[in-house]
Amino acid sequence: MISNIGIPGLILVLVIALIIFGPSKLPEIGREFGQTLTEFKSAAKDIVSDEGMKEEKKPALSALKREK
């Protein structure tokens, strides 16, 4: 979706953002967006690693059930 914007579309979006928010707010908005993206990535990594741990435990649990 974003890859279809292209350079002219990206420039247009940046100009519109500059007009709406003004030059003083854009760095602050960019910083907040970056922090949000970083938090999202770390949460996604935690979810993926938790699922990986659950999958690793499944064979161990099935082996315990077979022993009984």
Supply the DSSP string of 2-68, one letter for each residue.
GGGSHHHHHHHHHHHHHHHH-TTTHHHHHHHHHHHHHHHHHHHHHHHHHHHHHHHHHHHHHHHHHH-
Residue-averaged pLDDT of the chain: 81
Whether pTM exceeds 0.75: no
Among residues 27, 7, 31, the alpha carbon closest in space to that of 18 is found at: 27
- Weakest mean pLDDT among 18-27, 29-38, 45-54: 45-54
Q: How is residue 47 written in tokens?
A: 């979810």
> pLDDT by residue (tens digit) across 34-50?
999 999 999 999 888 87
pLDDT score at 61: 54
Average pLDDT over residues 51-68: 60
| 16 in Cβ contact with 26 (< 8 Å) | no
Stretch 16-25: mean pLDDT? 91
